[in-house]
Amino acid sequence: MIVYEVSIEVDRASAAPYLDWLREHVAQILRIDGFVQAQLYERCDIPDDAPRCGFVVTYQLRDQAALAAYLANHAAGLRADGERRFGGRFSATRRVLRELD
Contact 88, 82 (CB under 8 A): no
List the beta bridge partners of residue 59: 4, 38
Q: Is residue 5 part of a domain?
A: no
What is the tens place of the pLDDT at every residue in 25-69? 999 999 999 999 999 999 999 999 999 999 999 999 999 999 999
Range of the domain at 78: 10-98
Tell me how many domains the chain contains.
1
What share of the chain has pLDDT > 90, as a percent?
Answer: 99
What share of the chain has pLDDT > 70, as a percent?
Answer: 100
CATH code assigned at 36: 3.30.70
The reported pTM is: 0.94
The predicted pLDDT at position 81 comes to 95
CA contacts within 13 A on the Cβ side of 42: 11
The predicted pLDDT at position 101 comes to 80
79 has pLDDT over 90: yes
